[in-house]
Chain A
Amino acid sequence: MSIMSEAIAIAPAPEAHAPVAASLSGVTRVFGASGSGMAVHALGPIDLSLYKGEFFSVVGPSGCGKSTLLDVLAGLSKPTTGTAEFEGRAIDGVPDGVGVVFQEDASFPWLTVENNVAFGLRRAGFEAAEVERRVNYALGFMGLRDFRKAYPVQLSGGMRQRVCIARTLVLQPRLILLDEPFGALDQQTRLLMADELLRLWRETNATVFLITHSLDEAAMLSDRIGVMSARPGTIIETIETGWPKDRDSRIVSDLRFASITARMWEKLRVETMKTMVSQEGKLQ
């Protein structure tokens, strides 16, 4: 075992013995498989178990199928082969108890912040008092209380993303899927948002599945990190970080942080180069 490996395998993830929240078994996704055009093998085969209450991140080269993987877990896309389960039941459509935050700004510009946050609750038929209570809590938690009557156009990109997170949070999902939610934000805002995300995860005890391009973000936030190969994406390594649950962005100064990031890059470098070579081949 290399020095680097020893440095990062300090402690098993505390969730390792927790019950499984969601799982993928032999999942592949092939686009255009049934049509007349050329089939694109985008993902898999993937076997993955997400444990209840853990923070799991996925990193991988561009186009490796990270978002497709999230879509399968969210029930937004059906696997071509294999099975996907949430809380022991096969995923067929978006299951109850699953919340998704997308990379793009998905706040509804025609609704105020509080109506955006209340949108899912009203759709789900919650009573007005309960809607009010949960919206108030989420707005306070996400630092949006002073902006409840504002429209998204009046907010910064980071605040609009907080609105989307609050809109997901109020439904108290047991599995939160985040598809590069901070991708469009600047570095400082990303760090602060990451702290908020950790706070949210601790308080809700939800299982979090994060797709990110940022190695630092993955190293800082996660209990476990899945490193994906170039397309068709498979998980080539799972790294356990061993961070305590009450961590925040200050762990970036921890020596282990650099080791985790270096380990990810060691694997990703090869995969990213494969992707680049394949893209250059297509251009020629």
Chain B
Amino acid sequence: MKRPGLVSAAIVIGCILALEVACRYGFIRRSVIPAPSEIVSMLYMLLKSGTYNEAIRLTLSNIAISGLIATVLGFILGVIIHANDFLRRGVEPFLVSYYAVPTFIFYPVLVVIFGVGSAAIISIAVLMSVVAMITSTLNGLDRLPPAFPRTARVFQMSPVSTALLITLPATAPYLFTGMRLVISYSFIGVIASEFILAGEGLGYSISYTYNNFENSKMFALMLFIIVVVSVINSVLNNIDRRLKQRLQRGD
């Protein structure tokens, strides 16, 4: 592990130890936050018993579905907008200010359309994440070196071959950044929606345990989400860094 990584790890471990000490010696009441060791052992018990397996499966599959839809839809819309300058000039102001509008305000509309359940939740997550993929796609296509499509023409490549063998790999770092953002927004969209829109899933379970004063379970489920998000983010970061290192075009 490199030095900045060591510092990050030390900060996390230091905070956990400080929290453990504060909880054990009564500086923080157990009813507010249980000790980290207690949260970990509760999470182990919950996973072993399988009590929340269905909630975990549902939430992760909703995240995967919304991530997939937002990635594909965002990529296609990005390509269409990039190809049409007139459309782009009309759409760009909306893209720039999109995240100034909280997407959750549309949840009553989505409930009316899709009803309470996964469809409405996935729709909110897609609404939250699709624009990140559109802007990343536009960013990548804008930065495609003009010599690449010209080279493709010299090699007499068809538009499909050019897209698959040149445009896609050349824009891969930007598309991957978009995918990372889509996954992050999908997590936020799905779990937050489950708080208000669902009767199942991890978000609903956290809300349920909170309302029933089951603090240890609530923190255990929160820890589970934090661990899953951190692991996914770390893997994606690693791939992202490698892609950018390999595909950078410096002197």
Contact = CB atoms under 8 A, between A and B. Distances in A.
Interface in A166-202: none
B103 interface: no
Given A123-B155, A123-B157, A123-B161, A153 B148 contact: no
A106 B151 contact: yes
A3 B165 CA distance: 56
A110 B52 CA distance: 43
Q: Which of the four size classes fits the interface of chain B?
A: 20 to 34
B150 A102 contact: yes
Contact of A108 (B150, B156, B169, B251): B169
Interface stretch (B33-41, B105-113, B203-211, B240-248): B240-248
A100 interface: yes
Given A76-B153, A123-B155, A106 B170 contact: no
Contacts of A74: 154
A110 B161 CA distance: 16
Interface string A92-119: 0110001110101110111000000001
Nearest to A98: B154
Nearest to A177: B154
Contacts, number: 59
B154 A104 contact: no
A104 B251 contact: no
A106 B251 CA distance: 13
Given A104-B145, A105-B147, A110-B169, A153 B154 contact: no
Interface residues of A, number: 23
Interface string B128-161: 0000000000000000011110110111110001
B154 A105 contact: no
Contacts of B169: 108, 110
Contact of B250 (A94, A100, A153): A153
A120 interface: yes
30 contacts: A74-B154, A76-B150, A93-B153, A93-B156, A94-B153, A94-B156, A100-B150, A100-B151, A102-B147, A102-B151, A104-B146, A105-B145, A105-B147, A105-B249, A106-B145, A106-B147, A106-B151, A109-B248, A109-B249, A110-B172, A110-B246, A119-B155, A120-B155, A123-B156, A123-B157, A124-B155, A152-B249, A153-B246, A153-B247, A153-B249
Interface of A: 74, 76, 93-94, 98-100, 102, 104-106, 108-110, 119-120, 123-124, 151-153, 156-157
